[in-house]
Structure 1
Amino acid sequence: MDFIADFFIRFLVQFQSPTLGFLIGGMLVAALGSKLKIPNAIYQFIVFMLLMKIGLEGGIEIREANLLEMALPAFLSILIGLLTVRIGITVFSILPGVDKEDGIATAGLFGAVSASTLAVAIVVLEEESIPFEAWAPALYPFMDIPALILAIVVANIHLKKQEKGEDTDVNVWNIIKESLRGSALSALLLGLALGLLTNSDSVLHSFYDPLFRGFLSILMLIMGMEAYDRIKELRSVAHWYAVYAALAPLMHGLIAFGLGYIAHLLVGFSAGGVVILAVIASSNSDISGPPTLRAGIPSANPSAYIGASTSVGTPIAIAVGIPLFIALAQIVF
């Protein structure tokens, strides 16, 4: 009962937080037919700033971290990315009225990681004074890249079998290169490299830190507006996508929480680190994933996988997943 009460208290508190408030505000503005528009260039700049901050901080911490302690969480991140996509593909393969490529793309997007959800989780943990390894956000690419690659490889194998009726090779290295060249992962990896190899502490604390929360609030506003717009698109495809989008984030997060707890027992992975691992597993890519999947699986319907992710998956991961995993951590640890 204490867990349920704690979860609902945190759930209600989340609705008062600026991050979720801006997300809901964006949805309301769009629902009222406002002509408010935030240029895409500003959106891309904000995403770059957030990921650079996360990358710089992670790189600085990795420079001083025990790499053996990080190795197991990094391996588990790869495993979670692959496992969640495989589960999603299996689920969609048995559901009626679901196109194969659409199901694979949706599974890939929900196996990949949302930079914005990660940023919200970091703010919430800091507000609640829950410590975590500064390198924990750097687990992002370890989960994100394998998930996207697996989805694209499986989809391409399926399509080539349909075309030629036989097994054909898929150039995995090209897929990896395209994923790494994506704007979100490029920014995060650049930040990691600069934090790891340069004395970037001063620029992090004087420039990126003070702007982080303000930029995050604008990103949430943009995402809220897009979430409302995507609801219309989601209505045009099978309702199974909405059901999956509501359940998958919590299922993925619980799998990651369990594996993260094993890392806690074996290498001392912190409670906050386990929460971050669960949150990035519950998130669904809103920045790097859509363009990567559009290029890698062009036959898939974006209304299905992007609509499910933006209109249902992301709000569930932020509003329900974050307070759930924090409450669970306070009971388990």
Structure 2
Amino acid sequence: MDIIADIATTILAQMQKPTLAFLLGGMMLAALGSKLEVPDPVYKFIVMLLLLKVGLGAGISVREADLIALAVPAACAAAIGIVIVLLGSGTLARWRGVSRMDGMATAGLFGAVSASTLAAGMAMLDAEGIFYEGFIGALYPFMDITALVTAIVLARMSAERKAATSLQSGGTMTMGGGGGRGFDGQMVRGIMVDTLRSPAISALILGIAIGLFARPEAVYASFYEPLFRGLLSILMLVMGMEAWSRLSELRKVAHAYVFYGLTAPLVHGMMGFSLGLLAHHLTGFSGGGVVLLAIMAASSSDISGPPTMRGALPEANPSAYVGSSTGLGTPVAILSIPLFMALVELTIGF
């Protein structure tokens, strides 16, 4: 009964946080037939500011980290982000009735990182007096961006192949003759270039570059940081209204997202734990660092992911990827933190 009460309390706490509260508020307004809308140029400006902020913070963290000590954990973080998306591509995105685009967007969010979940893990370790490396925050962009870019590229490749197959079945030849058959290197390169040039990824990369090679701390602290939560709440309100309008698409496959949202954080967390152990044996990565890498892998993005997916994959349904990640994945990830602490204590100690 205590476990059930803890889960219910955690879910309620998540619903009271701005990310999910404004999402639900937007859905409620749409359900009541409200005519409220945010002009598209305003929405795009908000997304640009949010992603620049995330990129700047990541770039500053990487610049201030010990790059030699960071190398192996960063490679592990990037590998985890990619593998999580590939796993989601082969499971959720292939589930009967699940839209390929929705499945890939969801996998992308689960491969990316929740800053709030990571902060919760750090707070628990601090309370126990457990050491972890100061550069842990710098691992965030390596897992986050690789997962998001991988998901977007795979989703667009799938859409291109589907379109090519449709054209061929209608008797129309496709450019290059590759169509939906096998690996098309030219198509992959084109999609990669388009992805990196897309507004969402471009803003992230620009923010990281400025954070790495310039000194944006003053403008970051005085402008981006104070505006961040308020802008994020407006973004989630917009996504909530859009999610309600597309909720009917999920009714027949809602069980797939519930199952994925409840099980994926544990599977992904164990992947992070395993690669954290590898980094520990190779470089002496601390037990606290292993815990936090597992928590990052278990978490799902609630900040950088939604606006990135909304900008790069507008066809994807927000009620699928935000609902399963923030609504289900985040509570499970937070509740799993003691599990990863116990596993590290049993295997390598603190």
User: TM-score, normalized by length of structure 1?
Assistant: 0.79
Gaps of 5+ in 2: 126-134, 174-178, 280-284, 342-350
Distance 1:136 1:105, change over 3 A: same
> 2:23 and 2:274 mapped to 1: Cα distance?
33
> What is the CA deviation profile of residues 28-82 of structure 1, one whole-angstrom value per residue up to 9, with x for unaligned ones?
1111111111112222222222211111111111123322221111112112222
Quote the residue 1:190 is aligned against: 206
Q: Aligned ranges for residues 5-24 of structure 1 at < 5 Å?
A: 5-24=5-24
Which piece of structure 1 moves more, 320-329 or 276-285?
A: 276-285
Matched residue, 1:313: 321
Whose radius of gyration is greater, 1 or 2? 2
Q: Contact conserved, 1:113 with 1:283, CA < 8 A, in 2?
A: no
How far off is 1:196 after superposition? 0.9
**Residue in structure 2 matching 1:112, options 103, 108, 112:** 108
1:266 aligns with 2:278: yes
- After superposition, the CA RMSD in angstroms is 3.2
Cα pair 2:235 2:307 within 8 Å, conserved: no
Contact 1:60-1:195 at 8 Å conserved across structures? yes
Once residues 143 and 324 of structure 1 are traced to their aligned partners in structure 2, the CA distance between those partners, rounded to angstroms, is 20
* Number of the residue aligned with 2:336: 328
1:2 Cα shift?
5.2
Deviation at 1:169, TM superposition (A): 4.9
Shift of 1:255: 2.5
Aligned to 2:44: 44
| Deviation readout 1:74-130 (Å, 9 max, x if unpaired) | 1121122222112234x43xx3xx4xxx74333322222389x95xx4246547845
Is the 2:53–2:228 Cα contact (8 Å) retained in structure 1?
A: yes
Deviating above 6 A after TM superposition, structure 1's stretches of 4 or more consecutive aligned residues are: 281-284
Q: How many pairs align? A: 306
8 A Cα contact 1:148 1:293, kept in partner: yes
Q: Distance in 1 between matches of 2:31 and 2:52?
A: 32
Give 1:190 shift: 0.9
Of 245, 256, 273, 1:244 maps to 256
Distance 2:100 2:52 in 1: 30
Residues 249 and 283, structure 1, Cα contact 8 Å, conserved in 2: no
Cα distance in 2 between the residues matched to 1:261 and 1:37: 43
Cα 1:178–1:114 shift into 2, 3 Å: farther
**SS in structure 2 at match of 1:280:** coil
How far is 1:329 from its partner? 0.9
Q: Which residue of 129, 133, 150 maps to 2:136?
A: 133
Letter of the 2:81 counterpart: S
Distance in 2 separating the partners of 1:264 and 1:105 = 31
SS in structure 1 of the partner of residue 299 of structure 2 = helix
Give the TM-score of the pair, scaled to structure 2.
Answer: 0.75
Please give the residue correspondences for 1:1-333 in structure 2 after superposition, counting only pairs within 5 Å. 3-65=3-65, 66-89=70-93, 91-92=94-95, 95=96, 98=97, 103-113=99-109, 121-123=114-116, 126=119, 129=123, 133-138=136-141, 139-157=143-161, 160=164, 163=168, 167=181, 169-170=183-184, 171-234=187-250, 239-240=252-253, 242-267=254-279, 268=285, 269=289, 271-280=291-300, 286-289=306-309, 292=312, 302=315, 306-307=316-317, 310-333=318-341
**Equivalent residue letter for 1:207:** F
Query: Are the equivalent residues in 2 in contact too, given 1:251–1:282 (CA < 8 A)?
Result: no
Cα drift, residue 3 of structure 1: 4.6
Q: Distance in 1 between matches of 2:325 and 2:106?
A: 11
